Amino acid sequence: MSELRELYQTVILDHNKNPKNFGALEDANRSAEGYNPLCGDQLRVMIRIDDDAVADVRFEGSGCAISTASASLMTQAVKGKPLADALKLFDGFHEMLTTNATREVEASHLGKLAVFAGVREFPMRVKCATLAWHTFKNAIEDTGTVAKTE
């Protein structure tokens, strides 16, 4: 477990410092905003959907290290994926984070995202980690509502 914790810190610090796919997406055809009032994280996820796949995705906004790193890793994870696969990742990620922290989770299918299993030890932070994902899902479903992880 300590190995995972170390990896978790490295990955989060790294992606917070140099977030991937950060900034406006000029030719986005979907977007949504997310807000986590518990922490003050605020972000916008912009997607270009082509042929039922995530052709491109970017995010902007400001938040804590965990919300920024999670958004960064999310964009990497879903970019280029068919929408159905991207939503399956959402489900897997969400399930991992809402499983009791004392339980081992099978997260090999989540790749790099598995490091976020460490967040379960800090329940307040789960909202930070899932914010980008909820916002992404809203953007895909084009509901026009602001994702709130409260």
Contact footprint for Zn ion (CB under 5 A): 39, 41, 64, 67, 128
Nearer to Zn ion, 49 or 115 (CB): 115
Nearer to Zn ion, 82 or 122 (CB): 122
Nearer to Zn ion, 43 or 47 (CB): 43
Distance of alpha carbon 25 from alpha carbon 32, whole angstroms: 12
CA 5 to chain centre: 18
Tokens matching residue 7:
């990896």
Beta carbon of residue 131, minimum distance to Zn ion (angstroms, whole number): 7
* DSSP reduced 3-state for 38: coil
Are 135 and 43 in contact by the 8 Å Cβ rule? The answer is yes
Beta carbon of residue 51, minimum distance to Zn ion (angstroms, whole number): 34
Beta carbon of residue 132, minimum distance to Zn ion (angstroms, whole number): 11
Give 27's DSSP letter.
T
